[in-house]
Amino acid sequence: MTITARRWLFGVCGAALFTIFILAVRELPQFGHYRGPYGDVLNRETVYERHVTDVVSAVNFDWRGIDTLGEESILFLSVVGTIVLLRTGDEEVQGKDNEDAGPNADIPLPSDATRVAALGLVGPLVVFGLYIVTHGHLSPGGGFQGGVVLATAPLLVYVAGALKTFKRIANHQFVEIMEALGIGGFLGIGFLGMARGAYLRNALPLGTTGHLFSGGTIFLLNVSTGAAVAAGMLSVMYAFLEHTIEVRLRSKA
């Protein structure tokens, strides 16, 4: 397909998508005029029936847990697809570990202020990410959001100029184990509900509303999702970094 044909195809598809988007936006209810009734029912019943104070997490990991399983599977397949597309042979990556300043030897090491700021934020980001994951059933957040925050912490190590350290973290067997446990944990927790007649049905004690260990399986599903998302995002960042290094080394050859 020629470049001109691609541009025409993009223009036609883009115009069609934009038209559909405008029509959809016009059908949205006015601000403050929720049409219900499902949101009203969930807001009224979730706290009492599931002992969680974040209705969104209850929807994601209980009321519509099967949908979230599909979303997590899509994320996992996307990570696998990205890594496959960006994979490199062993003979192509030899010698890449010699540079600790970045993907290009011409890029100087970051300033001392940048290194101190980046490395100083690693610990707080890990704590904050864990907080978002483990408190997703009590406050806004959850496994998806907290997992992304956790994956950002090792990236700051690279920003600080420690490329070798970042690669040791991201390309470690622990990351693969964490992703496998996250996906497998979500699937395994779902089987607990089979004892009550349905896959992913909340089958554990609900605990006390407002406490950390409440919500039954919602808490565990949040943790499993956080592990899977953090490991998946970290794997993607590592794959893109390796691909960038490969391209720049080829351009210098």
What tens digit of pLDDT does each residue of 80-139 get?
888 888 875 544 444 444 444 444 444 567 888 888 999 999 999 999 999 999 999 999
Mean pLDDT for the chain overall: 85
Residue 159 pLDDT grade (very low, low, confident, very high; cuts 50, 70, 90): confident
The CA distance from 185 to 228, in Å, is 9
pLDDT reported for residue 31: 83
Provide the number of structural domains found in the chain: 1
What does the pLDDT read at residue 57? 93
Q: Is residue 12 a part of any domain in this protein?
A: no
pLDDT per position as a tens digit, 14-38: 999 999 999 999 988 888 888 878 8
Q: Please state the rounded mean pLDDT for residues 64-87.
A: 88
* pLDDT of 13 over the 60 cut: yes
Dihedrals phi, psi of 98, to nearest 5 degrees = -75, -20
The predicted structure's pLDDT at residue 132: 96
For residues 158-191, one letter each, b for 16 or more C-beta atoms within 10 angstroms of the residue's C-beta and e for the rest, the string is bbbbbbeebbebbeeeebeebbebbbebbeebbe
Residue 90 pLDDT: 44
Has residue 171 been placed in a domain? Answer: yes
The answer to the question of residue 91 being in a domain is yes
Question: What are the structure tokens assigned to 93, written together?
Answer: 């990556």
Domain-located, residue 38: no
Q: Please, what sign has the CA dihedral across residues 94, 99, 102, 104?
A: negative
28 in any annotated domain: no
Phi-psi domain of 51 (left: phi exceeds 0; alpha: psi -120 through 50; beta: other) = left
Whether 21 maps to a domain, the answer reads: no
Rounded CA gap, 74 and 46, in Å? 27
Residue 171: band (very low, low, confident or very high) from pLDDT cuts 50, 70, 90: confident
Would you say residue 213 lies in a domain?
A: yes
Are 163 and 212 contacting, i.e. CB atoms less than 8 angstroms apart?
no
pLDDT in tens, 178-201: 988 999 999 999 998 888 888 998
Q: Which domain holds residue 58?
A: 52-252
What value does the mean pLDDT take over residues 148-166?
88
Residue 104: predicted pLDDT: 46
68: pLDDT strictly greater than 70: yes
- Measured between alpha carbons, how far is 250 from 253 in angstroms, rounded to an integer? 5
How does DSSP classify residue 194? G
**Segment of 10-19, 95-104, 158-167, 201-210 carrying the highest mean pLDDT:** 10-19
Classify residue 26: in a domain, yes or no.
Answer: no
Most distant CA pair in the chain, distance: 65
